[in-house]
Copies of this chain bind each other. A is one copy, B any other.
Amino acid sequence: MLLDRLDVPIVLAPLAGGPSTARLAAAVSNAGGLGFLAAGYLSADALREQIANARGMTSAALGVNVFVPGIPAAPGSVDDYASRLTTAASQAGVELGRARFDDDAWDAKLALLIADPLPVISFTFGCPDPSVITAVQGAGSEAWVTVTTPAEARQAAAAGADALVVQGSEAGGHRASFIDDPAADVSGGFGLLPLLQLVSRETRLPMVGAGGIGTGAGVAAVLAAGASAAQLGTAFLRSPEAGTARVHRDALAGPGETAMTRAFTGRLARGIRNQFLDEHSQAAPAAYPEVHFLTAPVRAAARSAGNPDLVNLWAGQTHELTSELPAGELVAQLAREARNAVAAAAGRLAPRA
């Protein structure tokens, strides 16, 4: 397993939708961690170019994350929601986008990644069919599946996954749930520490812990809870190598409270509370990627205009702890802090004299 060979047990979260760059992924891998590229929202051609760029900047291992397609929303299920967004669209000075389904070029991306494999392919938003996992493994890649519950961990293990990315409810951006079911919202989702403990009982597959990790102490905690590595996304969003928009960087540095919402994309995701999130979360349907396409022009315009009220400010619960360090320096700092944190924990557990 690649996880047993990393110099530093730190994995970059994929960060689809802007922040992901080849430079960022290469910087994390060059620092001894594992950099990830995000296939989400890219064409297969753009993904091919990203991979080539990253390979040009590192000889170390890289991963690519792919969105597993869902099913189209029922016809008309987004109409009411679109009506209530007309004010936001005028505020941004644009028309709403067309709410359409899309499989994010699943077949083309898989074909690319099997023809020209990378060390790790991770999956989000579903458990791929066992035949897909076998094909990825046959090409020489490890197949990782992102899970948010013990039941999803069982399913991924049964499908043949090599490792699990275990995502707690603290995480910024989209929840990786196989099915985004509003009926499950009442539970609030498993926190990362409980989830790692519960998944450990379901399977002996290696785990990568994700969600709310902003310090070396957080990295150490996830390892102590049984993970082979920690995955951090928000922590890297303000790095100079990230493609994060200015308005998003500024919000991350402040003290804003986060919440889960379907308002921006039709899939549950955690972001910093703002006007759009607070006004529309209650009404937003589970309809991904239809709502993503519906709101895309509003978000793009607000992002360009530097208006934080209408942008999806994805952020995990420790976003206030982010820094502007270059990604490689951040990896090194987190590793140092993590070693100190583990030593302190060992001291607490040592038999008293």
Contacts and interface: CB of A to CB of B under 8 A. Distances in A.
Given A187-B257, A187-B259, A5 B352 contact: yes
A217 B201 CA distance: 12
Interface string A200-219: 11000000000111110110
A232 to B, nearest CB: 12
Contact of A197 (B214, B342, B343, B349): B214
A37 interface: no
B186 A212 contact: no
Contact of A259 (B186, B222, B228, B352): B186
A224 B226 contact: no
A188 B186 contact: no
Total copies of the chain: 2
A188 to B, nearest CB: 5
Contacts of A9: 348-349
A220 interface: yes
A212 B187 CA distance: 14
A189 B257 CA distance: 10
A198 interface: yes
A304 B221 CA distance: 41
A213 B225 CA distance: 10
A222 B196 CA distance: 13
Interface residues of A, number: 62
A260 B188 contact: yes
A69 interface: no
Contacts of A278: 186
Interface in A148-174: 168-170
A200 B317 CA distance: 14
Contacts of A346: 339, 342-343, 346
Contacts of A62: none
Nearest to A336: B349
A321 B202 CA distance: 11
Contacts of A168: 191, 193
A349 B345 contact: no
A286 interface: no
Given A169-B191, A197-B217, A223-B224, 13 more contacts: A186-B259, A190-B317, A191-B193, A193-B222, A194-B316, A194-B317, A197-B213, A217-B226, A223-B344, A224-B224, A224-B341, A224-B342, A226-B341
